[in-house]
Amino acid sequence: MYAPTSDYVHALEVPAPQRWLFVSGTMGLDEHGEPGATLAEQLQLVWGNVREILAGHGMTVDHIVRVTSYLRDAAYAQENAAARVAALGGRLVPTTALVVATLSERWLIELEVVAAA
């Protein structure tokens, strides 16, 4: 088996969770539905949006057990990984990043997360 990189793990066991939360693809959009102008702005917005969704269900980023990132450009991978590690406070979770054509050219990042409590 190959070694994981410093920003993710191969697997994460969740023993006996009572609740699962599956978060739909979430973009780096502000409260008016407008995307941030840069990748950094969209990463800040998307993690803020994820935090708000989690809070609405009595959870925090500490409950995230899986992250899937949809990136408009492969060049965004390193900045996305750094933002994920920062958002999770250094806690590592299984993650996958895919390069895709987003529904809008202005959407640079979309996140899908799974949380357990």
Region for 40 from its dihedrals, namely left if φ exceeds 0, alpha if ψ lies in -120 to 50, beta otherwise? alpha
Rounded-to-integer distance, Cα 57 and Cα 113, Å: 13
Give the model's pLDDT for residue 54: 98
HSE, side-chain direction, 13 A CA sphere, residue 17: 14
Instruction: Please give the domain boundaries of the chain with CATH numbers for all domains.
Output: 20-116 (3.30.1330.40)
> 117, 31 in Cβ contact below 8 A?
no
* Full-model pTM: 0.95
* 83 sits in which H/E element: helix 77-87
pLDDT tens, residue order, the chain (117 aa): 999 989 889 999 999 999 999 999 999 999 999 999 999 999 999 999 999 999 999 999 999 999 999 999 999 999 999 999 999 999 999 999 999 998 899 999 999 999 999
The structure tokens listed for 74 are 């492969």
